[in-house]
Amino acid sequence: MSELVFFSGTMDCGKSTLALQIGHNRAARGLQGVIFTRNDRAGAGKLSSRLGLVTEAVEATETMDLYAYVVDRLSQGGKADYVIADEAQFLAPDQIDQLARIVDDLGLDVFAFGITTDFRTKLFPGSQRLVELADRIEQLQVEALCWCGARATHNARTVGGEMVVDGAQVVVGDVSSATETGYEVLCRRHHRRRMTSASARAGVLSPDVLPVT
């Protein structure tokens, strides 16, 4: 039976690497897939990993009907044995429904990869819909680590190394950015305290989030 599988985890836990590996393994068996992505760090129409691996992909724009795209490919004699959707948190809920329809109506496996919550710990609409519809949800086994060494469970947005909690839900950045808008993965304790690696090094902790003693 075909499935809609949602692989979730924080930033920097290997989601895109796994997506590339799944595609590689199936290509080695002569299978062809459709790879959708949005807002990849390598630019439009790319699926990339922080390990340096990259492949071509279809940029899933806000208005694209993913189901119609796959049907059109098949109707024109193209091949599609499976679908990969990376950065799935950025997809609209309707597009997640289209992925589910690819599974149900076309009998293809769909592997979706994304983070569940944003820098404010709020669900991305696309991820919420995946939780509601997925046949299976897989937590990535490669654990990203907070600066303190604990398992990272939250994504923090940073500006100049300082955590921010206001702004648009979608701002493209990466965990390697230290001077402009970037991201850092933190454990829940340090996310609640807004304590990034930079502020920890400086010995800074915002007084409005100090624990009550």
Say if residue 92 is exposed, middle or buried (CB neighbours under 10 Å; 0-12, 13-18, 19+).
Answer: middle
What are φ and ψ of residue 157, in 5° steps? -90, 135
- Give yes or no: 184 in active site: no
d(CA 27, CA 11): 26
CA geometry: angle 25, 27, 30, nearest 5 deg: 120
Tell me which residue has tokens 């340090």: 190
- Catalytic option among 87, 132, 180, 184: 87
**Interhelix angle 93-106/66-75, nearest 10 degrees:** 40
Structure token digits, residue 193: 């305290």
In order of 159, 170, 171, 177, the CA distances from 167 in angstroms are: 11, 9, 8, 17
- Separation between Cα atoms, residue 109 and residue 81, nearest integer Å: 8
Give the 3-state secondary structure of residue 71. helix
Which structure tokens are listed for 171?
């701002």
Active-site positions read 87
